């Protein structure tokens, strides 16, 4: 059992537990399963196997098979099933093993879940969370980053945390939200490090709010997921050259926190968006277009984006690494925005 809810007892001074992102998500789900008996999970191999990449470790022992419903391989029907159950008062969390599989469920996600609230004129909603994992990682399989495909569809909330604290707070907010949320768990970050996580069961991180993870006045770097860590490395190197980079971790990729980004650009006058997903038609394209118009008067240089080139993600590790926005590439992109 990874959720360490027992870690904090004592006389006044408490030490919050240090968890990985994976553990933090399980801890958040554990609290919500305790808090609300309408919450349940639907997925493949989420019981005795402990879930893909151990994403549900310990939950079967704690909650039993009634709350962890295992299905055959049928992503589209899993999601549709959850939508129907949500209509009838449950609050399902669907585990779609990997983000590679999200397109299998594109119709129920885009055409039912995203559209539901508006089409029904707000008379009903779909409180569903789709958990999935993606991005390149140590395991080098299932690397797809399809967030932009789903960000294109109105009505879906798309979340990707980059720290354990955010991971726990955001999964809790997602479960409590009455909107359908696609919750993307970055594989590279999954077990990469531990950090203190609030253990108060009422602490959540609100959906739709970005976080300024590093202050700076020379350039605004907007990013999410693994690229937050890469960007922090690049910013540390740039600091030695006297360049102060402000880093905004979007956390919610759609609908994204335009005010926070515009506020930062008002200060810095320069914008770079960095993500691991394809640059073409990506989240960065949307942010650059919107901020390019809204903050036209603040911008001192054309806003830019850095993402993967427009080729399918290759298997061979050296080729795949060449696709990634490494710290060196972020550095070069920041320099080009500064010089423009």
Partner 1 sequence: MERAEVFELYRVLATARAIELECAAVTGHWYSGVGEEAASVGAFWAAARDDVCCPHYRCALVVHHLRGRPLEDIFAALLSKRDAASRGRHLPPFDGYPEGNVLPYVSVMLGPQLAVAAGAALAFKHRGEPRVAIVGFGDGTAGTGDFHETLNMSASLSLPIVFYCQNNQFSISTRPERTLAGESIAAWAERYGMPATRVDGNRAPEVVAAMRAAITRARDRGGPSCVEMITYRRTGHFVADPAHYRGAEELAQWKQRDPLTLCGDHLCSRHGASRDHLGGIAAAAEHAVREARRAAEQRPPWTADDLDLGGVYERAY
Task: Give the separation between CA 275 and CA 33, rounded to whole angstroms.
Answer: 32
Pick 146 or 256: Cβ nearer partner 1:
146
- In three-state secondary structure terms, 185 is strand
Which one, of 53, 38, 122, 46, lies nearest residue 88 by Cα? 38
Of how many residues is the chain composed?
Answer: 340
* Interface with partner 1, residue 54, by CB under 8 A: no
Nearer to partner 1, 17 or 43 (CB): 43
Give the number of other CB atoms < 10 A from CB of residue 130. 29
76 scored as a contact of partner 1 (CB under 8 A): yes
Whether the Cβ atoms of residue 261 and residue 287 lie closer than 8 Å to each other: yes
- Assess 242 for contact with partner 1 (CB under 8 A): no
Nearer to partner 1, 76 or 203 (CB): 76
**Nearer to partner 1 among residue 62 and residue 125 (C-beta):** 62
Could you say whether residue 280 binds partner 1 (CB under 8 A)?
no
Restricted to residues 140-169, the positions that interact with partner 1 (CB under 8 A) are 140-142
34 flagged as catalytic: no
319 contacts partner 1 (rule: CB under 8 A): yes
Place of tokens 């209509």: 87
**What mask, x for binding partner 1 by CB under 8 A, covers residues 111 to 140?**
----------------------------xx
CB of 220 to partner 1, least distance (A): 28
Give the CA radius of gyration of the chain.
20
Distance of alpha carbon 287 from alpha carbon 143, whole angstroms: 23
- Please provide the DSSP assignment of 210-266 as one string: -EEEE--SSEEEEE-THHHHHHHHHHHHHHTTT--EEEEE-SEEES--HHHHHHHHH
Instruction: Check residue 310 for interaction with partner 1 (CB under 8 A).
Output: yes
Contacting residue, 18, 62, 104, 301, with partner 1 by CB under 8 A: 104
214, 247 contact by CB (below 8 A): yes
Minimum CB separation of residue 285 from partner 1 in Å reads: 17
Rounded to a whole number of angstroms, the minimum distance from the CB of residue 72 to partner 1 is 3
List of residues contacting partner 1 (CB under 8 A): 44-45, 47-49, 52, 70-74, 76-77, 100-101, 104, 139-142, 309-312, 314-319, 321-323
Cite the active site residues: 142
């Amino acid at each position: 059992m990874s959720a360490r809810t027992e870690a904090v007892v004592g006389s006044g001074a408490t030490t919050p537990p240090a968890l990985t992102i994976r553990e933090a998500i399980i801890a958040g789900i554990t609290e919500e399963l305790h808090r609300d008996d309408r919450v349940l999970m639907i997925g493949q191999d989420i019981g005795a196997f402990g879930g893909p990449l151990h994403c549900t470790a310990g939950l079967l022992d704690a909650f039993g098979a009634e709350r962890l419903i295992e299905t055959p391989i049928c992503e589209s029907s899993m999601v549709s099933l959850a939508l129907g159950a949500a209509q009838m008062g449950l609050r399902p969390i669907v585990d779609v093993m990997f983000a590679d599989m999200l397109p299998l469920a594109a119709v129920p996600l885009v055409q039912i879940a995203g559209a539901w609230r508006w089409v029904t004129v707000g008379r009903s909603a779909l409180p569903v969370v789709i958990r999935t994992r993606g991005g390149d990682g140590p395991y080098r399989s299932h690397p797809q980053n399809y967030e932009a495909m789903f960000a294109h569809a109105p009505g879906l909330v798309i979340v990707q945390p980059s720290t354990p604290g955010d991971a726990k707070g955001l999964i809790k907010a997602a479960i409590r939200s009455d909107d359908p949320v696609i919750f993307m768990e970055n594989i590279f970050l999954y077990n990469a490090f531990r950090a203190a996580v609030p253990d108060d069961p009422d602490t959540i991180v609100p959906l739709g709010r970005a976080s300024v993870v590093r202050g700076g006045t020379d350039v605004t770097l907007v990013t999410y997921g693994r690229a937050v860590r890469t960007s922090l490395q690049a910013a540390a190197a740039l600091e030695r050259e006297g360049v102060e980079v402000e880093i905004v971790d979007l956390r919610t990729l759609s609908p994204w926190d335009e005010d926070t980004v515009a506020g930062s650009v008002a200060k810095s006058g320069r914008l770079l968006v960095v993500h691991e997903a394809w640059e073409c038609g990506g989240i960065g394209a949307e942010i650059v277009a919107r901020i390019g118009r809204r903050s036209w008067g603040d911008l001192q240089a054309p806003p830019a984006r850095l993402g993967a080139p427009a080729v399918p993600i290759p298997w061979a590790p050296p080729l795949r690494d060449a696709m990634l926005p490494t710290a060196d590439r972020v550095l070069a992109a920041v320099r080009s925005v500064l010089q423009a």
